[in-house]
Structure 1
Amino acid sequence: MTVSRVLRNRGDVSEATREKVLAAAKKLGYVPNRIAGALASQRVNLVAVIIPSMSNMVFPEVMTGISEVLDGTELQAVVGLTHYKPDREEQVLYEMLSWRPSGVIIAGLEHTDASKAMMRAAGIPVVEIMDTDGEPIDSAVGISHRRAGRQMGEAIVAAGYRRIGFMGTKMPLDHRARKRFEGMTQALAKAGLEIEDREFYEGGSGFVKGREMTQAMLSRSPDLDFLYYSNDMIGAGGLLWCLEQGIDVPGRLGLAGFNGVNLLHGLPKLLCTMDACRNEIGRRAAQLIADRVATPDQGRGAIIELSPEIALGDTIRRAAAD
């Protein structure tokens, strides 16, 4: 009984006895059967984290935030990747829920009807992350991407740019990029402007795509004076191409991305960008789950909207934009 209490981290056991039991378990290579232990409670101490990708810099930082919080609890994150495909998300969610996790953290607010039904019927805390522009199943932590797009559009207009091009992922696959695009076009419309050229791509973000799209867009629309990229990685590729061509950035051509990727601080110029609050989103989402597991009604229905800020960098006319 004493060993059982130690291994389940329960009961009144002296620290000396606890250390002896844990040392013996470690020496024997013993791992407790969590599934057997979960039969009575019908739950395992797993938090299903369902995200689109780990191939860029966005979601690893979210995962870091989640881990920083869950490391102080009995909960453990288990990750499933959807590759931005709704049907894949549905399959991953089905498999994850079959293990009866204690909670779900899932990217985005847009899901198939079947995925929504599964989350509503699961009877566990569900936190949708990255986006607050919509109605969550339960709770949500993120930013307003429409507001972020409007803020960037307002900064572009204030800096004196008038002929704007947009580059990003194909909108049906990236709802958050679509909302930023919508927000930016609203801000431009208030100033009597509109997007003059646009380019979309599929697949992972990268420098090469940014270079290729920038070259193609400026070849067909040489009078553009600002390029807005849906993420920093393609924006960095575009910046490098422009500098190689001797284009005056930000005088002749302004550039901006999104995500605030620290990796890009080594570029010849700092890209104008906006921090997506990735680590804080992960931390807040994990804390909501941990709180709800401890106290089921605490935080139910919470919507936490964080406020990203524009970092002007070196690729927008700073004096006019300030």
Structure 2
Amino acid sequence: MITLTDVARAAGVGESTASRVLRGHGSFSAKTRESVLNAATSLGYVPNRIAGTLASTGSRLVGIVIPSLSNIVFPDMLRGANTVLVGAGFQPVIAVTDYELRREESLIESLLSWRPAGVMVAGLEHTERAGAMLRNAGIRVAELLDTDGEGIDIVVGFSNREAGRMTARHLVSRGYRQIGYVGHDLSRDLRAAKRFAGFRSALGEAGLDLAGEEIIPASSSIQAGREGLERLLERSTSLDAVYFSNDDMAIGGYFHCVSRGITIPDRLAIFGYNGLDVARSAPQPLSTILTPRVAVGEMGARLVCSDGPPTVVDLGFELIEGATT
């Protein structure tokens, strides 16, 4: 754990001076302030708000940082994690980033200031400072729902790129050649961006180009999927299949087809991602990728509360053929 002593030494000042700067109280020069803040940032220092109270008793808090509560994927993951953590005597503390990495950084700092026993966070991508804080926190850190990248400590999930690749191979194997894509904001949802990249790569290996795409600059939703497919079909009338960034978007596309009399899959095949219950229970069950969200939460929680070396656990996924392709 990076301490105030480390910060003071790196800044070339005394601990009391460093403390005054970080608390924003007392007198110090602008140069001293800059030196201390730069040292704290580069070291990933997090102030200890409870002043060592938990050092002797042991924290029972586990921070969980997720992008959204409106997407059922993350409540499912939380359900799995909560079952394990509560059963082991830990208290989950949940923070929501809204897919903003800067907000994730702020929330990680806030959680670490309470000296939790561990932290679980969705995804592998973080700001430089957030990564430094997690690496130097001296606790177990579990990164969840993705294995495409380098982890800090514990990684539990599956390959989003391979999910996209498998989707493309499935559509090609069913004879579709004019394949489009409807997605949400890929600059924020980096796991969806990885799936799209894998999808396009597999299309290229089959000698195909993406026949059209519509990216909605907003979070995923049923309405966004419906509007996205409508816009795409206005431009690309020859499409015979569309891949959606997730099941929420695909359900919206399904509703658009029903409202316009577009037969599925004879006129247009649609494919989603996540394997949500509502999508699999539709009159025509959605073709999709089923992800082990609850199991990811359970496994991540077990590992974050135990001792052991850094590890990667790939739980895989399942392609559900459904009735829409």
Measured against the shorter chain, the TM-score band is 0.7 to 0.9
How far off is 1:74 after superposition?
1.5
The aligned amino acid for 1:171 is L
Q: Does 1:309 align with 2:324?
A: no
TM-score using structure 1 length: 0.83
Tell me the secondary structure at the aligned position of residue 131 of structure 1. Answer: coil
Unaligned runs of 5+ in 1: 1-34, 293-297, 317-322
Whole-angstrom CA distance in 1 between matches of 2:268 and 2:133 = 48
Q: Does 1:258 align with 2:267?
A: no
Divergent runs of 4+, >6 A: none
TM-superposed deviation, 1:202: 3.2
Report sequence identity in percent. Answer: 42
Q: Which amino acid aligns with 1:230?
A: S
Structure 2 counterpart SS, 1:87:
helix
CA distance in 2, matches of 1:75, 1:202: 38
**How far 1:42 sits from its partner (Å)?**
7.0
Q: Structure 2: 5+ residue runs without aligned partners?
A: 1-49
Match of 1:158 in 2: 173
Query: RMSD across aligned C-alpha pairs, in angstroms?
Result: 1.5
SS where residue 39 of structure 1 aligns?
Answer: helix
Secondary structure of 1:216's partner? helix
CA contact (8 A) 1:161 1:226 kept: yes
CA contact (8 A) 2:226 2:255 kept: yes
SS at match of 2:65: strand
Contact 1:38–1:44 at 8 Å: present in 2 too?
no
Shift of the alpha carbon at 1:101? 0.1
In structure 1, what residue type is equivalent to 2:240?
A: D
Distance 1:288 1:202 in 2: 36
| 1:25-174 correspondence runs (5 A) | 38-41=53-56, 43-174=58-189
Following TM superposition, by how much is the alpha carbon of 1:121 offset from its aligned partner in structure 2, in angstroms? 0.9
Which whole-Å deviations, capped at 9, do the CAs of 1:180-232 have from their partners, x for residues lacking one? Answer: 11111111111100112111123332221111111111011010111000010
For 2:243 and 2:199, the matched residues in 1 are separated by: 9
For these two proteins, the number of residue pairs brought into alignment is 276
How has the CA–CA distance of structure 1 residues 229 and 63 changed in structure 2, closer, same or farther, with 3 Å as cutoff? same
2:15 counterpart residue number: none
Aligned mates of 1:89, 1:285 — CA distance in 2: 19
TM-score normalised to the size of structure 2?
A: 0.82
TM-fit CA distance, 1:251: 1.5
Alignment of 1:117-266 (within 5 A): 117-266=132-281
